[in-house]
Structure 1
Amino acid sequence: MKQEMMRTSMSLLFGAAVISYVVGGGVTLALGQEASHYLTGFLLTGLATTVAIGLVYLRVLKPLYSAREIISANGESLSPSDFSKSALNGDKVIGPFIEKMGGIMLKFVAVIGNVSEIIEKNSVSLAETSHKVDHLNKSIEVLALKSREIAASSDAIAATTAQVSSNAANAAQFAIKARGDSVAGQASLREAIEEMRHMSTRTEETSQLIAKLHESSTQIQEITQVIEGIAGQINLLALNAAIEAARAGEHGRGFAVVADEVRKLAEKTAKATGEIGGKIGEIQNETEHAVDTMHSLVEDVNRGVGRVEHVGEQLGDILHHSSDLESQMNAIAEGAEKNHAEVGQISESLRLVREQLDSFETQMKSVSEQAMALSDLGEGMHESLIDLNLDTVHNRMYKIASQGAAEIRKALEESVRTGKIRQDDLFDRHYQPIPNTNPQKFSSRFDQLTDQVLPSIQEKILEQNPDIVFAAATDDQGYIPTHNKKFAKPLTGNYQNDLAGNRTKRVFNDRTGARCGSHTKRMLLQTYKRDTGEVMHDLSVPITVNGRHWGGLRMGYKAE
């Protein structure tokens, strides 16, 4: 560029001189004196402009180009003394200015280097902060969930306590009513006992009267038997008198009539006394049965009195227990009411705690979003620093990733060109679950090809750069069809072992994994903290196939 500018300037100077001489003379001959005067002025103005351009080149542009060559040649080992070398040496006009600007540029480069370090440290701090915030968010979510569960349980307890209080109050009312009923029942039982005792007394008296009646009927029966005997004797005497009257003849006729009447009277008397005896016998049987019944009734009444008295005692116990139950129910109701108030306070406290947790969760989400925004800002600054070509870890990794992505692009494009795979298949995103894999793995229409072409590129990156933990191509959906060999160990069936040891043919749709293949920036540098405590950098560059964005190459390396 410098030589081209020099040649251009010298050509202009030489050409201007020749034109001035030739054209000036020719025009003077052809146009006359006046026209020649104007044309000469025009040519002299052009000559002056050309000379000025040459001076600007010699005094300004040439030193600046020399300064640029010095910067390009020395890179980060540049020092202020380098700007006094070569073409700048002896240039008393622009040299000091360039040397001064070189010093400022060196300071600027140093500041940029410090800024890069600060961004690096901030990225690590933000990764740790985000990791802690994520864990804290999870803890807060668990606490919020537990507080909601406790609040729900507290509300249920409050409702149950209120129900218990209501039931206890109702039970106390029932106890009061039972006590009143017991008192009334005892009074009724006492009246019943008195009535039964009075009935027992009257029954006993009646039994005694019937017993006396039985004795009297026995005596009457004895008397009727005597009368019956007398009637029999009278009948016998009447029969004898009739016989004697018959013997006496006419003189005994009147005596015979009397004797016959006496006999008839004796028969009637015997018949009447027989009937009386029968009735008295029946009366005796009935009175005996009545006496037995009365005795049995008295015994039943006495037993009933005993039972009623026992019921009265039980009612007394019920009355006593009802009083105790009333006191206890009142105490339970008071306790339940107090518990209800205390549970209400607990529920209110839990509500406030839940609100605080919700607010804290919102704030933590805001902090997380702000941390993500700062992280995005840092990512953008890392991308901007690429142009400065600083000698940093990230720039070195970017160059490695760019080279790897270019090789993958060429390999995929060559596969499409030679017909090993159709481009539509390469961009197909209908993944098929691989059976009996946990974590779930997927096959695709292009993973067989990547298993053939990617290992030579990816494994070479790891072999040549021991600091790089992994280097794997991912499509724009976070699917890694072919991972590094050390992350493609045989499946064991143990979830934890396979989760870390076999990461190939899996979809990584977390924030870091999803962005690695979906972005189209020149470089995306993400910093995150593993659950193991290590802070990792994840640098990714886009991969295109025939001008179409396919995914990206992501590389992971530990933060220093």
Structure 2
Amino acid sequence: MTRNAVLAEQRPAVPRGLAPEIVPLGYLIVEILAFLDGLEDRTGTNLADLKTLRAAGDRISRAIAEVGADMQRLSAAAQETERTAAGKLESISANADRFRRLGEWGTGISSRTYDLERVLHEVVGANSQIARIARQVNILAVNASIEAARAGDAGRGFAIVAEAINELSRKTAEAAGGISNSIESLDDWTRAMRDDSERYAADFEAGIAGADETSRVVRAIAEEMTRARTSIAAVEKSMNALDADNQTAQPIYDAIGATAQAVATEVHQARERASRMMDTCETLLQRAVSQEDDGPDHRFIAHVRRMAARVQQAMSAGLAGGLISRADLFTFDYVPIPGSNPVQHETPFARFTDHTVQALLEEALNFDPAVIFCAICDRNGYIPTHNLKFSHPPGPDPAWNTAHCRNRRIFSDRAGRKAGANRAPFLLQVYRRDMGAEGFVMMKDISVPITIEGRHWGGLRMGYRETSAR
């Protein structure tokens, strides 16, 4: 007895009709796996976001500390500047007041020169009167001297008095002349000073306005410095409060991060367990289908195996006929196609499979209305050639492309990987097919390996809806 026969005898019998009972369980597990996949993706994203948030919190803490230190230094500098500036501002204000008084004095010179000129005119008038009196006295003195000379000895004393009066009138005349000259010089100086004061009056007035503006600016500077110091103190207080809040938030970040990490770990573990459940369910389904004499999937399995043999024969014939080299057929290099979304790839054998198996894939669709697709995939899940209805040129809408541009794509999902790697006579899977804008479709997938010249190349995949619903 062969080893397989012994194992067959030892293997527990599978009740007839068990496969239809296993399939709904498979669908349920697939749904759970899809949910856990999405949840794992979201928890991974959340962990990354929390890591980013935590890093941002650390940067904020450092920034708060740096700003707080800067604010303390700025506050101290502001206080010292305010104290120093107070004295300087007082000095500036005092100088402005002095300049204002000087300007007021300067603008008043013109009016005072008019007063001085008026007084000088009065002095000139009085001096002229004195000069006239002096001349009259001189004439009287001369006349007295003449009369004294006529009187002889009797008029000698009178002659002496007349001489003295004449001398006095002479000196008075000289003094009046000197005063007149001085007054003329003073009058010239007064007019010059008045002209200068009038010429500089606008400057003096501008100086007064400037002094007033300086005083106003000085007061405004003092007020602004006080407000600045007050604002700095308020900002420093706010930064201290922010630092306290941030310090309070740090343990919360840590707790959320720890919880999220624990949830992510548990989700991953749950997904691993669900994946093992799916493996077990598929193993049971595979055994049930293999050992049952008949069932809803048997005719599909038989059809896919026949089509796989024809595909394998066509590819082998093309290789033998020189349509492609063995090296190119087994070169699994994937070059992204620019602008495709989802990303499509070219390979050395894609055009060859289009030429050799496209017609066979279209023929396979006519087997049963439940059949959705039939495509070949290499050992890595890459589908070079698909049905024409799923092989449209990509457009700008990724959702539409997902459903209608499925050739030249690598399907690295669980079903795609297992279909490409399968070397058993057949593999029956249940899975959710992403149809883009149409959503996900639950279906069965049968894959049969394709071997070229004794070397495993990939497989033929056929997807179809549940036949019991027909």
Normalising by structure 2, report the TM-score.
Answer: 0.69
Letter of the 1:140 counterpart: T
Equivalent residue, structure 1, for 2:426:
523
- After TM superposition, give the deviation of residue 160 of structure 1 in Å: 6.7
- Could you say which residue in structure 1 is the equivalent of 2:42? 139
- Specify the SS of the correspondent of 2:46: helix
What's 2:135 paired with?
232
C-alpha contact (below 8 Å) 2:315/2:357 kept by paired residues: no
> 1:132 deviation in Å?
0.6
Deviation at 1:421, TM superposition (A): 4.2
2:462 is the counterpart of 1:548: no
Counterparts of 2:352 and 2:116, CA distance in 1? 132
Q: In structure 2, give the amino acid aligned to 1:555.
A: M
SS at match of 2:457: strand
Aligned 8 A contact 2:331 2:348 in 1: yes
Q: 1:537 to 1:313 in 2, by over 3 A?
A: closer
Q: Report the CA distance between 1:365 and its aligned residue.
A: 2.3
Give the direction of change, closer, same or farther, for the CA distance of 1:498–1:274 in structure 2 (3 Å limit). same
1:55 alignment counterpart: none
Taking a change above 3 Å as real, the CA distance of residues 492 and 309 of structure 1, as seen in their structure-2 partners, is closer
Question: Residue by residue, what CA displacement relative to the aligned partner does 1:346-379 show, whole Å, maximum 9, x if unpaired?
Answer: 3442343233223322332232233223333444
Is residue 345 from structure 1 mapped to residue 252 from structure 2 by the alignment? no
Deviation at 1:551, TM superposition (A): 1.0
Q: 1:516 to 1:280 in 2, by over 3 A?
A: same
SS in 2 for 1:482: coil
Say if 2:283 is the partner of 1:376: no
Secondary structure at the residue paired with 2:172? helix
Give the C-alpha shift of residue 248 in structure 1: 9.0
| Alpha-carbon displacement from aligned partner over 1:171-197 (angstroms, at most 9, x marks no partner) | 876886788689879988999999999
Residues 79-90 of structure 1 mapped to structure 2, 5 A cutoff: none
Structure-2 change in CA distance of 1:500 and 1:259 (3 Å) = same
Q: Give the distance between the partners of 2:214 and 2:352, measured in 1 at CA.
A: 101
- Whose Rg is larger? 1
**Residue 142 of structure 1: how far off its partner (Å):** 3.8
Amino acid at match of 2:270: V
Of 182-191 and 233-242, more deviation after overlay is shown by 182-191
Partner of 1:409: 312
TM-fit CA distance, 1:545:
1.1
1:388 aligns with 2:291: yes
> What amino acid does structure 1 have at the position aligned with 2:424?
K
From 121, 130, 143, the counterpart of 2:33? 130
The answer to whether 1:476 aligns with 2:383 is no
Retained in 1: the 8 A contact 2:99–2:211?
Answer: no
Which sits farther off after the overlay, 190-199 or 416-425?
Answer: 190-199
Distance change in 2, residues 1:452/1:227 (3 Å): closer
Compute the RMSD of aligned alpha carbons.
Answer: 5.7
Hey, what does 2:403 align to over in structure 1?
Answer: 500
Report the TM-score when normalising by structure 1. Answer: 0.59
Could you say which residue in structure 2 is the equivalent of 1:488? 391
* 8 A contact 1:128–1:535 mirrored in 2: no
Alpha-carbon offset, residue 544 of structure 1: 0.5
Task: Deviation per CA, 1:399-450: give whole Å up to 9, x if none.
Answer: 3333322222223223334445443343343456667755554555544443
The one-letter code matched in structure 2 to 1:499 is T
Letter in 2 for 1:535: M
Flag the structure with more relative contact order, 1 or 2, with Cα contacts below 8 A and sequence separation at least 6: 2
Q: 1:536 aligns with which of 443, 448, 461?
A: 443
Structure 1 position 490, deviation (Å): 6.6
1:547, CA displacement in angstroms?
0.7
Identity of aligned residues (%): 28
Q: CA deviation at 1:473?
A: 1.6
Equivalent position of 2:269 in the other structure: 366
| Alpha-carbon separation, structure 2, partners of 1:368 and 1:446 | 36
2:13 aligned partner, one-letter code: V
Contact 2:449/2:459 (<8 A) preserved: yes
**Where does residue 179 of structure 2 map in the other structure?**
276
Change (3 A) 1:110 1:319: same
Query: In the comparison of the two structures, how many residue pairs are matched?
Result: 449
* C-alpha separation in 1, matches of 2:31 and 2:356: 36
Measure the CA separation in 2 of the matches of 1:309 and 1:551: 92
Secondary structure at the aligned position of 1:534 is classed as: strand
SS in 1 for 2:449: strand
Structure 1 residues 292 and 495, CA gap change in structure 2 (3 angstroms): closer
Task: Please identify which structure carries the higher helix content.
Answer: 1
Q: Which amino acid aligns with 1:368?
A: R
CA contact (8 A) 1:189 1:308 kept: no
User: SS of the residue aligned with 2:447?
Assistant: strand
Name the CA distance, whole Å, in 1 between partners of 2:347 and 2:92: 95
* Cα distance between partner residues in 2 of 1:229 and 1:408: 152
Structure 1 position 109 matched with structure 2 position 13:
yes
Select the residue among 323, 332, 341 that pairs with 1:429. Answer: 332
User: What is the aligned partner in structure 2 of residue 467 from structure 1?
Assistant: 370
Measure how far apart 1:131 and its partner are: 0.6
- Residues 301-320 of structure 1 correspond to what in structure 2 (within 5 A)? 311=215, 315=219
Instruction: Give the drift of 1:549.
Output: 1.0
What is the rounded CA distance, in whole Å, between the counterparts of 1:491 and 1:284 in structure 2?
Answer: 107
Moved more, 537-546 or 157-166: 157-166
2:54, 2:265 → 1: CA distance?
20
Structure 1 unmatched runs, 5+ = 2-67, 69-104, 204-209
Instruction: Note the C-alpha offset of 1:474.
Output: 1.4
| Secondary structure, counterpart of 2:272 in structure 1 | helix
- The amino acid that maps onto 1:534 is V
